[in-house]
Structure 1
């Protein structure tokens, strides 16, 4: 990929054309890699330092699927805490880009000077 900061988007593998975050993320200056839930760890291993991880939980997710996403979020937050990489859970595309922009802005302001 190019030199744009990368965001990992994790979903359940069912993608509707109007549910993709990639266009919104590109407009914000981010490249995105979208992967199904089951491949999240493998793909994350290939992206050395993502700007963020977005877990895009389906709006109509049942209890079991919501629990899977929440457990993954908890584990990723623990694993990525040292790097300060935000892990964001969304319930669909609406508002996800705004949430991400807010999180990344806060992260940039709080980052130590190098």
Structure 2
């Protein structure tokens, strides 16, 4: 792995270049892994110590899809709360990076792995 802290981005698998968070997160000093909704648990099992999980709702999601993401957010918040890992739900690129900065506060954005 790299010396960067990792953020897991979960989406519905449909990725448009203009809504990718990876470039924004890299600019903030984070390495990101983007995974489809269905692979969330498997990716988290392989990802040691993420600093945050961002659930990126599809722009044109219907109520059922929004409910799936909100249910996942609730479950992840419960399971990741002992490690103080924030779970952020966003509707797209705009505002996601700011929300992440607000959640992580003054934590360093990159540090060598020990």
Q: TM-score, normalised by structure 2?
A: 0.91
Match of 1:67 in 2: 67
Match of 2:33 in 1: 33
Of structures 1 and 2, the one scoring higher in RCO (CA 8 A, sep 6+) is 2
Q: How many residues align?
A: 107
1:42, distance to aligned residue in structure 2 (A): 0.1
Is residue 55 of structure 2 the alignment partner of residue 44 of structure 1?
A: no
Regions of 4+ moved over 3 Å: none
1:40, distance to aligned residue in structure 2 (A): 0.5
Match of 2:111 in 1: none
Match of 1:79 in 2: 79
Match of 2:112 in 1: none
Q: TM-score, normalised by structure 1?
A: 0.91
1:3, distance to aligned residue in structure 2 (A): 1.2
**Coordinate RMSD, CA, aligned:** 0.9
Match of 1:104 in 2: 104
Match of 2:57 in 1: 57
1:48, distance to aligned residue in structure 2 (A): 1.6
- CA deviations 1:26-51 (Å, max 9, x no partner) are 01000000000000000000112100
Gaps of 5+ in 2: 108-114
User: SS state of the match for residue 74, structure 1?
Assistant: helix
User: SS state of the match for residue 59, structure 1?
Assistant: coil
